Every structure is written in C-alpha cells, then in structure tokens.
C-alpha cells in the first residue's frame, strides 16, 4: 500500500525534498545541490532521502524551470502573429522604466524579437463587431513563412479579441494545418481581457514557455515512472495551487512563480497550526529574502506581476516581495562613506569569507560568526567555518575604514541588513493598510531564524514562529496545496448600469468552464469548491480591488458597500456617493488533494542540558549563552533567552528577554520583548 507523500522543490542553489508518512505524520527531509538539468537534481534528491517511489502515493513538485527561462531568455524558436499595425505594442509597452531617473538603463527587449513578429489583416472593434474579416490567404502565407524559419511555438494576439475570439481561433486552425506539431497560444484563451500590452505579454510568455515546460514535465514523468512511480504528478503554480501535467502543458505561464509560492503556502499553514490567521512569511536564504502576507487565513494575491520589468503576467499569483538580502549578502561602503548591505552577494562560489574558499568580502554570515550567533560548524559538522577569515574581512573592509572595532562593524552590518528587510516588510504590510503588530512572523530559510527575533522587535511583532525544518520549509509547502484554477471575464459598467442577473449569468458561464477543467484534472464534482470575487474601482481609477461575493447576487448595493470598506482599509479613504465601476468577474475553483498532516508530539516539561556555551553579542554586549541541539528539545519545553538552537539546516537565535515554547508540532513559538 502506498504510504508516502513526496514534495520536491527545485531552487537555484539547492533542491529540497520532504517525505511525509501518511499513517504517522512523520516528516523527513533532505537537501542536495541543484543541477543544470533540474531532473537530475530531483532524482538525486529522491535517492538522498531514501525514497522508494513504488510506495509513493503522491509526488508534488515546485520548479524554477519557467522562471529561469524567462530570466535567461533561453527559448525555442517562437513567433507572434498580430493585427496589422500592432506589431510593436509589445515593444512600446507602457513607456515606463524601472528606475525613472536612470537615462542609461534600458528595459529588456521583448521575449520575441521584431523579426519574428508578423502582421495579418483583420479588425474587430471594442464590442466584438467585425470591421474587417481575417485575410485567410495572408494568414496562410505567414504560416508558411513561419515553417521556413523553423518556428515551434506561436502567440496569436489580435486586437480586441477579448470581445470576439473568432479570428484568433481561425488563425490557430490555419497554423495547425500548415505547420506540423506547432504549439499555438491565443490571447483570447490565455487572458480574455482589455489592455492589449498586458494580454499580449502574458500570451507571449505562455507561448515561449509551453515547449520547455511540456518537455520538462514529460521527461520528469518518464524518469519517475522508470524509477517505479505510478501515481499522480502535480505541479505547483504561482496562484498557490497545483495542476496536473496536462494542464501545465497548456498553461505553462502559470509556473513562472512556482518556486516562491511554496514558501508562502507553508508559512500560512504553520501560522494556522499555531492559531494565527494573520502571518507574515519571512524566507531568507543565501542570496535573497522572500516576504509574503496572510490576512484572515488567506494569502495576499496580485493580478499583475513580472519576472522581468516591463513584461507583465496577468494571472493571479501569491504576492511575494523579494529583496537582495541573504546570508551571503555583502556588507560594503559606498562612495559617500555610508555602510550598505546587499543586494550584491558572495554566492556559493567563493561564498562568505569564513567558508575559506577565497572570499574576501564580509557577508552577513561572517558577521553572525564574529558575533557568536553562528558556531564554527554548519550542517551537523559537514562544513567548518573560519572565524579568523571572517574577522579579517570585517576588519579590512569595514572596521578600519569606518573607525570601528570588528564587533561593532559586524553588529552595524547586521543592523543595516535588518533595516532593509524591515522596510520590505513594511511595504507589504503597513503600505497595504495592515498593522504588523496584529501578525505573527514565520521565519524560515537557512538564514531566516538568525534574523527573525531582531526584525520582530524592530516592527513590534509580538510572536515569531520557526518551523521544525526551516531550510526545507518551501518544499513542505508543496505538500499543503489543492488543485486550483482561476477563471475570469470582463464586465464593464458602473453598479447602477450593471444588472445583477447579467453578473449571475456570467458567473454561471465561468462555473461551467471551471467544472469542465476540474473533470479533466480528475477531480470529482462534489470535491470542487468555488469562490467568487468582483474586481471593482471608483469610476476613473486605474487599479481595482477584488471584492469577495457570497451567495446569489440579487443587488450590487451590498457588494459596493464592501468595496468601499476594503478601499478605506487599503487606501485610508472612501469617496461617498462617487460612481463605483465593475471591471472583472473572477472565479476560483479548488479541488481537494491528499495533503500533509504533520505528526503531533506528546508534550513534556523537560529541558535538555546545553551542548555548549559561547559568548553571543546582544544589544551591545557579549552574553554567555547556552547552545542547544534543537532535535534534543521536546514538545512542551519552555525556556527564556538568551539561547542559540542549532540544527542541520539552520540556526535559531533567541535574544535576551524572549520566552520560547516548543509546541506539539515542534514549532518554536517565541514571544518577543517589545523595543523601548
């Protein structure tokens, strides 16, 4: 009988593996270096974890394949076919720049260059009325030209096709007739909404990723089958759900945020286990930090995001803010003599100075080692750190130029890093109308538990949660999700113009699409849960707010009042009496899958003896601090800081004045003393 559920999260540096025994809730983890061919890393991780694939019930996978492809532009031959006169919409974009004041910084070129963007004659107006029919002979000539150029995948993006998709569908038929095996993405199916640049950009991303994602998933399925696995493979997508290989093959762009979504999902689950509906996820690795927010049990999502600036992807995605702050981030002095931290990183090679691999620049890891937060060994002794090299880097690069002692320089470097991360947390919380004091901070990633308490104190967050395996928590997120898909349609008009019956009719159409997709995914109808929202805004606004809708809509008055409440919460004002506009109807379909249920442990009152003691720098002074092996501390144990807890994949620093409890799931619950 199948007993295990397996999750593999492929990152840029490491591939993380979580294995859950269904009967007992026992969780074991493994971590192996990622490989140029990600499938080799997956197979190596399965072997390192000692997994018998013939006894695995479900294999869940988060991957960076799509994200990395968009960053590196390593695409198969691709082309775009559009309405005559609109070839350069994707190049003109919105005319914005990431840095408004940098006249020399150019936005990256479009994923499909101009020589591979072709025009055909056709025209539909805003209401869907055909003004000029599709020139089928011209369309066939374009198809033949694409064949001579060896094009493998095509994005069909006609203007106003969201209102009438007939021309796009006919263009796809012509391409498939003329080109054997070509993959075609039409904008009216990928993103049926107004705003041509966003629609074209999302469709192009789907087109260029489709061959890569499809090939990768098919190869992975074959490899797993060869190793004895005969169950379902599900892939995590950016919206916080999973989908089957068949759906991922068609909607490849949804995998563009697969990896970072896993951590946000895991932080929500850890928070709910501990009784917190409001949590901020803080995932700090070696190079970057990912920050997410959960409010009233729901992860905050965004409908517009991008892997590269200027080319938006308009699929719902869990909102994650990423900044260049990690264990390997460099501390440096700028031209004005100010101390800075990141976003530059020492990377894995040469790494921090204390690794002894040739690095000479001071990093956050070096600072923690000098201050005592880190010991001289990592990964249960598999890696040794050199304090002398860390001190040398800090002294020559920071302390002497700034006129500080080495300890002062190390503390200052970490203070700057913490300030950068605290600002990022404020952007995703305070700037959105959320008070951090009403949240718990979930810290994970290899470096997250080193900084969590200091950040919580800075932001007056009362509680810090650290999961049992911080370094592999993102992989755990892959075990905690359901099959999920998002559907939407435009419906423009003010609330006094839009008929509630029309809204219900549109939602009925979306429901039919959702149930058809779920049947294709193998989800039973009675296992499907549907949730609805309406995107609304004050007339004349550009941005909209998703307003949840419960039950049948008989009037839009109640929905409008909810919108005004949400607008006031997020933007701190409302326009009483101003017209409110309906923009888009959204339907989310969720189908339950087998999810992780972690084992609960009996609570004990015992506390082990520390394995060592060492001076650790807290609040400007060195304090003799006990060091514990985290695996030795049982559920129910309580103690006060200062303390350091060491484990295979991370180190937890508990400052003075903080109280710690180990709960039934072996999470650390740390109560933070508020800063004066």
DSSP letters, 34-67, are: --SSHHHHHHHHHHHTT--GGGEEEEEEE--HHH
Q: How much is the pLDDT for 674?
A: 65
Helix, coil or strand: residue 621: strand
Q: How deeply is 226 buried, as exposed, middle or buried, from its count of CB atoms within 10 A (0-12, 13-18, 19+)?
A: exposed
Q: At what angle do helices 406-428 and 364-371 cross, to 10 degrees?
A: 120
User: Domain map of the chain by residue range?
Assistant: 73-208, 483-591
Domain 483-591 has CATH 3.40.390: no
d(CA 292, CA 523): 29
Model pLDDT for residues 219-251, shown as the tens digit of each residue:
999 999 998 898 888 898 888 888 888 888 888
Q: How much is the pLDDT for 1?
A: 45
Q: How much is the pLDDT for 479?
A: 83
Q: Residue 352 in contact with residue 390, Cβ under 8 Å?
A: yes
Tell me the pTM. Answer: 0.81
d(CA 120, CA 486): 31
Beta bridge partners of 546: 535
Q: Residue 438 in contact with residue 278, Cβ under 8 Å?
A: yes
How is residue 669 annotated by DSSP? E
Q: How much is the pLDDT for 582?
A: 94
Residue with tokens 């591979």: 116
Q: How much is the pLDDT for 64?
A: 81
Backbone angles phi, psi at 674, to 5 degrees: -70, 140
Q: How much is the pLDDT for 676?
A: 47
Tell me the helices (H) and strands (E) count for the chain, helix number first. 17, 35
Q: How deeply is 334 buried, as exposed, middle or buried, from its count of CB atoms within 10 A (0-12, 13-18, 19+)?
A: exposed
Instruction: Give the tokens for residue 88.
Output: 């350069």
Contacts of 117 (CB under 8 A, 6+ apart): 79, 80, 82, 87, 88, 90
Is residue 14 within a helix (H) or strand (E), and if so which, with residue range? strand 14-21
DSSP letters, 436-485, are: GGGSEEEEESSSHHHHHHHHHHHHT--EEEE-S-GGGHHHHHTTS--EEE
- For the domain made up of 73-208, the CATH class stated in words is alpha beta
Q: How much is the pLDDT for 200?
A: 97
Q: How much is the pLDDT for 615?
A: 95
Q: Which long-range contacts (CB under 8 A, 24 or more apart) does 298-307 make?
A: 299/240, 299/264, 299/265, 299/268, 300/428, 300/432, 301/239, 301/240, 303/535, 303/546, 304/198, 305/238, 305/257, 307/67, 307/70, 307/71, 307/256, 307/257
Fold identical between 73-208 and 483-591? no
Residue with tokens 């949660």: 465
Q: How much is the pLDDT for 66?
A: 87
pLDDT < 70 regions, the chain: 1-2, 12-13, 348, 379-380, 594-596, 674-676
């Amino acid at each position: 009988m199948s007993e295990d559920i397996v999750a593999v999260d492929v990152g840029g540096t490491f591939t993380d593996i979580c294995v859950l025994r269904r009967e007992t809730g026992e969780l074991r983890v493994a971590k192996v270096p990622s490989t140029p061919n990600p499938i080799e890393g997956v197979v190596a991780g399965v072997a390192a974890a000692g997994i018998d694939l013939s006894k695995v019930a479900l294999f869940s996978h988060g991957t960076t394949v799509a994200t990395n492809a968009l960053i590196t532009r390593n695409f198969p031959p691709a082309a775009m076919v559009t309405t005559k006169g609109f070839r350069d919409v994707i190049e003109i974009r919105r005319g914005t720049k990431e840095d408004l004041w940098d006249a020399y910084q150019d936005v990256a070129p479009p994923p499909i260059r101009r020589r591979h963007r072709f025009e055909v004659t056709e025209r539909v107006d805003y209401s869907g009325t055909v003004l000029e029919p599709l020139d089928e002979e011209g369309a066939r000539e374009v198809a033949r030209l694409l064949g001579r150029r060896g094009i493998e995948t095509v994005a069909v993006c006609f203007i106003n096709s969201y209102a009438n998709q007939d021309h796009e569908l006919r263009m796809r038929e012509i391409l498939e007739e003329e080109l054997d095996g070509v993959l075609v993405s039409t904008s009216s199916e990928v993103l049926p909404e107004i705003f041509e640049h966003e629609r074209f950009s999302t469709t192009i991303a789907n087109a260029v990723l489709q061959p890569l994602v499809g090939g990768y998933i098919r190869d992975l399925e074959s490899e797993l089958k060869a190793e004895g696995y005969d169950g379902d493979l599900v892939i995590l997508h950016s919206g916080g759900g999973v989908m089957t290989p068949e759906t991922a093959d068609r909607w490849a762009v949804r995998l563009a945020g697969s990896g970072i979504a896993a951590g946000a999902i895991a932080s929500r689950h850890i928070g709910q286990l501990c009784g917190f509906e409001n949590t901020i996820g803080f995932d700090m690795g070696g190079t970057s930090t990912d920050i997410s927010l959960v409010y009233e049990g729901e992860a905050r999502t965004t409908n517009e995001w991008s892997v590269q600036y200027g080319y938006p992807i308009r699929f719902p995605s869990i909102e994650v803010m990423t900044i260049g702050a990690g264990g390997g981030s460099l501390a440096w002095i700028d031209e004005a003599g100010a101390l800075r931290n990141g976003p530059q990183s020492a990377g894995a090679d040469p790494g921090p100075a204390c690794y002894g691999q040739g690095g000479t620049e001071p990093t956050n890891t070096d600072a923690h080692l000098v201050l005592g937060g880190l010991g001289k060994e990592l990964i249960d002794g598999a890696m040794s750190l050199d304090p002398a090299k860390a001190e040398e880097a800090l002294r020559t690069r920071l302390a002497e130029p700034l006129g500080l002692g080495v300890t002062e320089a190390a503390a200052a470097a970490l203070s700057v890093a913490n300030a950068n991360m605290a600002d990022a947390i404020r952007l995703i919380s305070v700037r959105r109308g959320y008070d951090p004091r009403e949240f718990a901070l979930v810290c994970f990633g290899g470096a997250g538990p080193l900084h969590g308490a200091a950040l919580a104190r800075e932001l007056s967050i009362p509680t810090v949660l650290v999961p049992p395996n911080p370094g592999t928590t993102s992989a755990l997120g892959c075990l905690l999700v359901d099959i999920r898909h998002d559907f939407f349609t435009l419906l423009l008009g003010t609330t006094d113009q839009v008929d509630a019956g029309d809204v219900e009719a549109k939602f009925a159409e979306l429901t039919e699409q959702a149930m058809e997709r779920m049947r294709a995914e193998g989800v039973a109808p009675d296992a499907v849960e549907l949730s609805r929202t309406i995107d609304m805004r004050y007339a004349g606004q550009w941005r909209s707010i998703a307003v949840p809708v419960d039950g049948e809509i008989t009037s839009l008055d109640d929905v409008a009042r909810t919108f005004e409440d949400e607008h006031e919460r997020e933007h701190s004002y409302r326009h009483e009496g101003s017209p409110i506009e309906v923009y888009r109807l959204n339907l989310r379909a969720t189908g339950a899958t087998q999810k992780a249920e972690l084992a609960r442990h009996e609570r004990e009152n015992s506390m082990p003896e520390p394995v060592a003691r060492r001076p650790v720098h807290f609040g400007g002074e060195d304090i003799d601090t006990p060091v514990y092996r985290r695996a030795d501390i049982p559920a129910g144990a309580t103690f006060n800081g200062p303390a350091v807890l060491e484990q295979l994949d991370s180190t937890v620093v508990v400052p003075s004045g903080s109280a710690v409890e180990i709960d039934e799931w072996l999470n650390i619950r740390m109560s933070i003393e508020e800063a004066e």
